[in-house]
Structure 1
Amino acid sequence: MAVAVFAAVYVLIATEWVHRVAAALGGAVLMLLIGATDAEHAFFSEDAGIDWNVIFLLLGMMLIVAVLKRTGVFEFIAVWAARRARGRPYRLMVLLVVATGFLSAWLDNVTTVLLIAPVTILVCRRLGVPAVPYLIAEVMACNIGGAATLIGDPPNIMIGSRADLSFNDFLVHMTPIVVVLMIILVLMCRVMFRTSFHYDPERAESLMELDPKAEIKDKRLLLISGVVIVAVMVCFVLHTWLHMEPSVVAMSGGLLLLAVSRLSPGNVVKDVEWETLAFFAGLFVMVGGMVQTGIIGDLGELAAEATGGNLETTAMALVFGSVVPSAIIDNIPFVASVSPIVSEIVASAGGAGEAEMLWWSFALGADLAGNATIIASSANVVVIGIADREGHHISFWQFSKYGLIVTAVTVSVAGAYVWLRYFALA
């Protein structure tokens, strides 16, 4: 019954017969009614319930962005970026994609898209080009770039904690292939979105005459916001040493900025993406039902048994086998559910050393699968919500027709990287 509920909700989200928020919340209610999960697990379980760390991380960053947008800094960056790209649409996409990939390696990917997406919509509006291709390209860059470091993507944080892997471990093993994948993405964007690159000389000329500094509306608030954001970013990077969850950092920063901004709290909270938060809550409860009934764990164990203990086969299974489940149920709960199984496989294969590369295989498969569908990654859901709010609807299939191609290419390259580095050239 849990599988039937989840499948039905997935169909509703994919076909858009029902709004995705209504579908997710309805599915969560049904999971509770059929007994696939209960209130204790849905609301209080770390492994099979709502991930409040993700919810409050999002809420805190949404508050920061809601205050920041009132300073005019997004307009400033939009004009600066358009001038830097000289009004050339593809050059602008490259600039935004590279910036997004770099930022997502040092911030979590949700924070990155919360900051970049509003700028993208504004600059596209100024240039008269469709914003949707740019948003899709950016969120894909975010999911790829976030794979580079321990703190870049929530699945990496969970894998690092489970396997006792350091920040430097991720830099050594993940960053090289991420750089290659970012270059591939930039080249693919030139082909995938070629029909959207319409250059308008008149618009470009008018933008070159604009002064970015004139877009700043409140210098005092911008200065305060800058101090708070820098503090939040530093705490994100140091959160493991500070023993503070990123959600605590984000909420502290958001509430502090709201308190000192002198803005009306009622007006600020109107800009919070409440629909996105509700969608996440419903999705977490549904996936929790799948975890609680043992479905996800059983699938992971079957995959482990199918490899027969061979390291090379297991590594390839983790890279490619993580794609479908991560794309369907969101890579965060998938990693939370399957990482204990991977831990057992690594331990049975001798623990650290040669078997450690199984963690990198698992991380690459789960992270890169985040580009496959709109619900495969937290960043995807956030961007879809921001786009809808600004009148730029991105459908499930519109995203997936690009996402599936990018996922297939990047995962294949990642698989080749794992085979070459840890087997062929080892």
Structure 2
Amino acid sequence: MKYLLGLVLGLSMPFYAQASQSVANTIDLTNHWLGPVALGVFSLAYILVILEEKLHLRKSKPVILAAGIIWFLIALVYSGMGQPHSVEVAIRHNFLEYTELFFFLLVAMTYINAMLERGVFEALRNYLVAKGFSYRSLFWLTGILAFFISPIADNLTTALIMCAVILAVGKGKPSFVATSCVNVVVAANAGGAFSPFGDITTLMVWQKGIIEFIEFFSLFIPAVINFVIPAMIMQFALPQGIPPAAKTSTKAMKYGGLTIVGLFILTIITAVSFHNFLHVPPVFGMMTGLAYLKFYGYYLRQKSKAWTHGSENPPGSQDNEYDFDVFAKIAHAEWDTLFFFYGVILAVGGLGFIGYLSLASSYMYGELGATNANILVGVLSAIVDNIPVMFAVLTMNPDMSHMQWLLVTLTAGVGGSLLSIGSAAGVALMGQARGQYTFFSHLKWTPAIALGYGASIWVHMIMNG
């Protein structure tokens, strides 16, 4: 065995030596014809992403194509220069980063889908609707719940759940729906900023090893400020009184719903423990957690079989609450989103390989300074999706203090709240509450949100500076 291992290492050493040499031999191609062409390809792809709702074109399609074109052109140029292996090494590096993110998110999405199917979130919605809270109470409750659920679930799912509550009780009150949706978007994004599980950007920072899991919680107070200040201003626009009783489903949570919630929490603990104590990438902890769900799914399937064998329970009956297929939950993951991340990471990685990110880094973090640059990252996140922006920052890897890394994590997470199109939560709610929560109904409150954005940065600088 040791001879086999030695042979493998011996064969692989030239590759790794060549890989490290190839990384060092990257060429600045920003002034080459390749640079502007690649930048144009990416820009065109991102315009199509922004127009997704208008064109009904899935956002993953243009960025995947753009990534392929960019790296094809890079490979073409480098082959002509006699350095084809440099491209191979760079692609493998970017693809590995994507793979870790892909499997991490796939497990998280599978758990969320399992909880949705078991009726966990519907039970929460029904509880809130049935309680008969006032408009103002519901405004604050949905906001607070969004703030505290999004660090565990993702901010998109959280916002959709809270919006369902708002729509159920806000019929005939479009101003309540619009204002509450703005509040939920701000709260969900703010809540996601202080947890690696709350947003893709925080997950990327954590997986990169720049900020430890426990250190994210130093952003808790700034995140609270980011949510509370706009909410305190917006609450004065709410209608008075109690909404009329809304119809709620009497369907109870399915068997095993709370158990799956517990398994998801255990999965998070596993991922954090793997990373913090064993220095193993957190994705391995998440995949281990997927095994928990698979075994529990097996248990449910056995109960389902026992149930259907009963004389009064014919096969295919809709009343079988034990029926559970974990692979169906995997199949219902947000595949378009996962492939979108592939396109973004590979395309931005390609632009970085060409040399554009070095240029951007030297300007932003050299001339503007780290604080101004990181605040600008948040503003850019409101216009462009925060994922490519944060991935670009991580790829630049500017030399800045720990406090500044926390700052850019905060701003990238909450900056998207400035506009409705700045976050996945905002875009989703524009579809869910179509005609009531719109780009302009959100824009109306942008000054209040900007005030919270600025205040959260100020508090962070005082607390963590």
Query: What TM-score do you get using the length of structure 1 for normalisation?
Result: 0.72
Residue 19 of structure 1 pairs with residue 56 of structure 2: yes
Q: Give the structure 2 partner of residue 410 of structure 1.
A: 452
Seen in structure 2, the aligned counterparts of structure 1 residues 240 and 26 have a Cα distance that, compared at 3 Å, is same
Q: Give the CA deviation at 1:358.
A: 2.6
Q: Give the CA deviation at 1:306.
A: 0.6
Seen in structure 2, the aligned counterparts of structure 1 residues 116 and 27 have a Cα distance that, compared at 3 Å, is closer
Residue 100 of structure 1 pairs with residue 134 of structure 2: no
Query: Which one of 330, 337, 341 corresponds to residue 280 of structure 1?
Result: 341
Seen in structure 2, the aligned counterparts of structure 1 residues 370 and 20 have a Cα distance that, compared at 3 Å, is farther
Count the aligned residue pairs: 388
How is 1:178-217 mapped onto 2 (pairs within 5 angstroms)?
Answer: 178-190=223-235, 194=237, 201-203=243-245, 214-217=250-253
Q: Give the CA deviation at 1:95.
A: 0.9
Seen in structure 2, the aligned counterparts of structure 1 residues 235 and 141 have a Cα distance that, compared at 3 Å, is farther
Q: Give the CA deviation at 1:87.
A: 4.0
| 8 A contact 2:142–2:162 mirrored in 1 | no
Name the stretch that deviates more: 131-140 or 175-184: 131-140
Q: Give the structure 2 partner of residue 248 of structure 1.
A: 287
Seen in structure 2, the aligned counterparts of structure 1 residues 18 and 364 have a Cα distance that, compared at 3 Å, is same
Q: Give the structure 2 partner of residue 230 of structure 1.
A: 265
Q: Give the CA deviation at 1:79.
A: 1.9
Query: Which one of 90, 95, 107 corresponds to residue 60 of structure 1?
Result: 107
Q: Give the CA deviation at 1:180.
A: 1.9
Looking at structure 1, the residues matched to 436 and 353 of structure 2 have their Cα atoms a distance apart, in angstroms, of: 32
SS of equivalent residue, structure 2 residue 55: coil
Query: Which one of 381, 388, 394 corresponds to residue 424 of structure 2?
Result: 381
Which of structures 1 and 2 has the larger relative contact order (alpha carbons within 8 angstroms, sep 6+)? 1
Residue 175 of structure 1 pairs with residue 220 of structure 2: yes
Q: Give the CA deviation at 1:77.
A: 1.1
How is 1:276-315 mapped onto 2 (pairs within 5 angstroms)?
Answer: 276-307=337-368, 314-315=369-370
Q: Give the CA deviation at 1:36.
A: 5.3
SS of equivalent residue, structure 2 residue 256: helix
Q: Give the CA deviation at 1:184.
A: 1.1
Looking at structure 1, the residues matched to 63 and 197 of structure 2 have their Cα atoms a distance apart, in angstroms, of: 31
| 8 A contact 1:287–1:333 mirrored in 2 | yes
| 8 A contact 2:146–2:159 mirrored in 1 | yes
Residue 78 of structure 1 pairs with residue 125 of structure 2: yes
Q: Give the structure 1 partner of residue 375 of structure 2.
A: 320
Q: Give the CA deviation at 1:299.
A: 0.6
Looking at structure 2, the residues matched to 57 and 29 of structure 1 have their Cα atoms a distance apart, in angstroms, of: 24
**Aligned-partner residue type, residue 364 of structure 2:** A
Seen in structure 2, the aligned counterparts of structure 1 residues 252 and 163 have a Cα distance that, compared at 3 Å, is closer
Q: Deviations over 1:309-358 (max 9, x none)?
A: xxxxx3431332222444455434433432465552x3xxxxxxxx4433
Q: Give the CA deviation at 1:4.
A: 1.8
| 8 A contact 2:379–2:416 mirrored in 1 | no
Q: Give the structure 2 partner of residue 349 of structure 1.
A: none
Seen in structure 2, the aligned counterparts of structure 1 residues 189 and 395 have a Cα distance that, compared at 3 Å, is closer
| 8 A contact 2:377–2:412 mirrored in 1 | yes
**Aligned-partner residue type, residue 401 of structure 1:** L
| 8 A contact 2:125–2:161 mirrored in 1 | no
**Aligned-partner residue type, residue 304 of structure 1:** Y
Seen in structure 2, the aligned counterparts of structure 1 residues 417 and 395 have a Cα distance that, compared at 3 Å, is same
**Aligned-partner residue type, residue 359 of structure 1:** W
Residue 361 of structure 1 pairs with residue 407 of structure 2: yes
Seen in structure 2, the aligned counterparts of structure 1 residues 277 and 170 have a Cα distance that, compared at 3 Å, is closer
**Aligned-partner residue type, residue 393 of structure 2:** V
Aligned Cα RMSD in Å?
A: 4.2
Q: Give the structure 1 partner of residue 157 of structure 2.
A: 114
Looking at structure 2, the residues matched to 249 and 138 of structure 1 have their Cα atoms a distance apart, in angstroms, of: 32
Query: Which one of 188, 207, 210 corresponds to residue 142 of structure 1?
Result: 188
Computing the radius of gyration over CA atoms, which structure comes out larger, 1 or 2?
Answer: 2
Seen in structure 2, the aligned counterparts of structure 1 residues 75 and 153 have a Cα distance that, compared at 3 Å, is closer
| 8 A contact 1:93–1:134 mirrored in 2 | yes
Q: Deviations over 1:263-284 (max 9, x none)?
A: 3647656644333334333333
Q: Give the structure 2 partner of residue 125 of structure 1.
A: 168
> Once the two structures are aligned, what percentage of the paired residues are identical?
18
